[in-house]
Amino acid sequence: MSLFQVFNVVFLGESEVGKTCIFKNINNEKLSKDSIQSSTFNIREIEIKISPEKTIRMKLFDIPGSGDFRFLADCYLKEANAVYLVYDVTKKESFNEMKQFWYEKVKNNCKEDIIIAVVANKSDLSDERVVRDKDGIAFAKENNAFFASTTALNENSSIQGLYLNLAKKLDDPNFDFWKDFKEIKSHNFIIREIQEDNMAHESNTNSRFDRDHEREQNENERHEASEIKSETEKSEGKASFCC
C-alpha cells in the first residue's frame, strides 16, 4: 500500500514540441534527439523529495499531439491534478494550438482546481525563436497558470526546477509560483524514478485504443450498410409501385 498520494500530471501540446524530452529528462541529463522522439503514449511514476520531511509522488502521462491521440487526452484530463501545456518557441503554430486547442481541452475536461504550467520549450534555439517569452507569460497570467522557459535537451535545462515548482504547488495550494520561483529553483531536492513500465503500458493503451477505434469503424460501416440497404429497399419499392 502506497504511503503517498499520487498526483496525475498530463503533458499536452503539438507533435515535436519536446513533451517527451521534458517527460524523460527529470534529472537534467543530456539527451540525444534520437532517444526522445516518440509517437506513442508514455507513462512513468516519480517521487520528489521537496523537504527532509515531505515527498510528493507524481504519475506522468505523455500524450502524443498528433492523429487520434489528440482525442485520447480527454479521459486522462478528467482525473488530472496538473497539466503541462508545452509549445515550441520556434513554431508559432504550436503556441497558437496550445492556446486554442489544448487549453480548451483543459477547460472542458479538467476539475476547477487544476494546476496549469505553460512551458516554452527549446529556448536554447535563440536564432530560430519566433514566440517571445512575454507572450507565454501573458497567456499564463491571464489563465491563472505559471510559466517556465526550458531547453530539455541540455544538461542545464531547468527541468528539475519545473518539476519541483509543480510539486510545491501540489503540496501547498497557496504556493505562489510568480513570487517563490527563484527561491525554489535553488532548493536541494531529489527526484527519483518509482517505476517505468512504458512498454507494457503503451502496448495495453495502444491495444485498447486500437480496439475502440476498430469498434467505432465497424459501427460506422454497419450504419452505412444499413442506410444503403434502406435506400435500396425504398428504390425497389418505388420501382415496383411505378410498374
What are the Cα distances from residue 14, in Å, to 18, 30, 95, 194, 231? Answer: 9, 23, 9, 27, 42
**Cβ of 15: how many Cβ atoms within 10 Å?**
16
Instruction: Tell whether domain 6-196 is in CATH 3.40.50.300.
Output: yes
Q: Residue 154 carries which DSSP code?
A: S
Average pLDDT over the chain reads 76
Angle formed by the axes of helices 177-185 and 159-171, to 10°? 130
pLDDT at 29: 55
What integer pLDDT is reported at residue 25 of this predicted model? 75
Window from 6-20, 28-42, 104-118 with minimum mean pLDDT: 28-42
Q: Where are the domains of the chain?
A: 6-196, 198-243
Q: What is the pLDDT of residues 52-111, one digit of tens each?
A: 888 999 999 998 877 677 777 898 999 999 999 999 999 999 999 999 999 999 999 999
- Give the pLDDT confidence of 149-177 residue by residue, as tens digits: 888 666 655 788 888 889 999 999 998 88
H helix count then E strand count, the chain: 9, 7
| Distance separating alpha carbons of residues 233 and 239, to the nearest angstrom | 10
Residue 3: pLDDT over 70: no
For residue 193, give the C-alpha cell.
524514478
Instruction: Name the E strands within the chain.
Output: 6-12, 42-51, 54-62, 82-88, 115-121, 146-149, 190-195
237 versus 108: the higher-pLDDT residue is: 108
Q: Which of 213, 178, 170 is nearest to 71 (CA)?
A: 213
Q: How far apart are CA 25 and CA 198, in angstroms?
A: 15
> In this model, does residue 179 exceed pLDDT 50?
yes
Query: Which range is most confident: 43-57, 58-72, 194-208, 219-233?
Result: 43-57
Using alpha carbons, select from 4, 27, 8, 6 the residue that is nearest to residue 115. Answer: 8
E strands in 122-238: 146-149, 190-195
Cell numbers for 85, please give them.
501545456
User: What mean pLDDT is predicted for residues 122-151?
Assistant: 93
